[in-house]
Amino acid sequence: MDRNKQHRQVALMRQSLFDQGLLDEQFVQLEELQDDANPNFVEEVVTLFYRDSARLILNIDQALDKSPLDFAKLDGYMHQFKGSASSIGAKKVKSECTLFREYCKAGNGEGCKRTFQQLKKEYALLRKKLETYFQLARQVGPVETACRRI
Partner 1 sequence: MEQPSKINNNEKSIQQGFSPSGCGDLISTRKFTALVVDNDPICQIIEKAILESQGVETQFVGSGIDALDLLVTGANFDIIIIAWVLPMMNGVETTRQVRAMGIRSKLLAVTACFDERKKKAFLDAGVDEFIEKPLNPKKVASIMREMKND
Q: Does 29 help bind partner 1 (rule: CB under 8 A)?
A: yes
Measured at the alpha carbon of residue 136, what is the angle toward residues 131 and 139, in degrees to the nearest 5?
130
Contact region with partner 1 (CB under 8 A), list: 13-21, 44-52, 130-138, 142-150: 44-52
Smallest separation, CB 44 to partner 1 (Å): 8
Smallest separation, CB 1 to partner 1 (Å): 33
* C-alpha to C-alpha distance for 64 and 104, rounded to whole angstroms: 11
Q: Does 54 help bind partner 1 (rule: CB under 8 A)?
A: no
* Of the candidate residues 6, 9, 59, 87, the single one contacting partner 1 (CB under 8 A): 87
List own/partner pairs for 140-145 with CB under 8 A and 24 or more apart.
140/3, 140/6, 140/7, 140/9, 140/10, 142/39, 143/7, 143/10, 143/11, 143/14, 144/7, 145/28, 145/31, 145/32, 145/34
* Of the candidate residues 5, 12, 48, 145, the single one contacting partner 1 (CB under 8 A): 48
By CB under 8 A, name the binding residues for partner 1: 25-26, 29-30, 32-33, 38, 41, 45, 48-49, 52, 76, 79-80, 82-84, 86-89, 97-98, 101
